[in-house]
Homo-oligomer: A and B are copies of this chain.
Amino acid sequence: MDQSEEQINLPELLVINPPPVFIVHQHQFSTKFKLLKAYESPLSTDLFLQTHAQSTKAIICYGKSPITSNILHLLPSLRLVVTASAGFNHIDLLECKQRGIAVVNTGDVLSEDTADTAVGLLIDVLRKISAGDRFVRSGNWVNKVQYPLGSRLGGRHVGIVGLGNIGLKVATRLEAFGCKISYNSRQKKTVPYNFYQNVCELALDCNILVICCTLTVQTHHVIDKDVLKALGKDGILINIARGPIVDEKELVKFLVEGEIAGAGLDVFENEPKVPQELISLDNVVLTPHKAAFTEEAFSDASQIVLANLEAFFSNKPLISPVIDV
């Protein structure tokens, strides 16, 4: 009996494009589900979806494989959308809700590693670590070229935009470095940090902003010209959340003109395209949307995705629902 025969009695899981977590742990998925892989089919995606329209109850997705109203329309039997990510801005949540489709994400399992990346990017920008590494590799150290001084992290007033799972973890880490923490969030929380209702006021009082919020209609371009101006010439912006939370054109302008001091960016508005102006700057650190990409996080994420799917197919409560039905 070959694998496809073995899979016949397994529940079906539709994959339009495979999330990285799914690629790394595919063997675990293939033993538990009959995988309907649109990306390996000679059919167009629409035709593939139509072929499996009546039977498909569950689909797996991620940021670069969005679940649009068009896809939902093509899959009338769909009852579960699983995203192999913490973020879910690529899923049409309203349409899912209206159609009675549950949505689950990876819950909190990626937030430790994402918070670590935020702190890593911040130390890197302040202390010029990547720039120093470039300096050494280029041979300039031997040539006795002077290297500029960095800035101290301790004593800094850090504003966290979005004090959820990740934001809180960034806060506790930065407290250990002697930073003062304030935050902006939809609601005031029971935490020992100052709450700011307005991002611009937060930026005015802080010299570092760390973006940790979800991308929504409300947070789109919330880091705009006014916030960057308030952040000021010694200000540093860290973004490990989503690119479009920041008005990237304005950010580039502020960085190029020296109107803010630096930025650590793991996400961009038009990934994987990164504004060309940033490539030549020494006061920015640019990473390829990998804030949560560790072997351990991928293993944890695959476990929680599998646990959610198994709960769904055995009519048990979902583990990490974004929308429960």
Contacts and interface: CB of A to CB of B under 8 A. Distances in A.
Nearest to A284: B133
Contact of A119 (B123, B147, B273): B123
A135 B175 CA distance: 31
A286 to B, nearest CB: 4
A241 to B, nearest CB: 17
B152 A113 contact: yes
A286 B136 contact: yes
Interface size class of A (residues with CB under 8 A): 35 or more
A196 interface: no
A290 B120 contact: no
Contacts of A1: none
A273 B140 CA distance: 10
Interface string A68-104: 0000000000000000000000000000000000000
A120 B264 CA distance: 13
Interface stretch (A10-18, A159-167, A291-299): A291-299
A267 to B, nearest CB: 11
Contacts of A286: 132-133, 136-137
A239 to B, nearest CB: 14
Nearest to A298: B149
Q: Point out which of A113, A136, A137, A293 has the most chain B C-beta atoms below 10 A from its C-beta.
A: A136
Interface of A: 24, 112-113, 116-117, 119-121, 123-124, 126-130, 132-137, 141-142, 144, 147, 149-155, 172-173, 175-178, 271-274, 279, 285-288, 290, 293-298
Given A133-B286, A135-B288, 17 more contacts: A116-B126, A117-B127, A119-B119, A119-B123, A121-B129, A124-B124, A124-B129, A133-B287, A134-B134, A135-B287, A136-B286, A142-B272, A149-B295, A150-B293, A150-B295, A151-B295, A176-B176
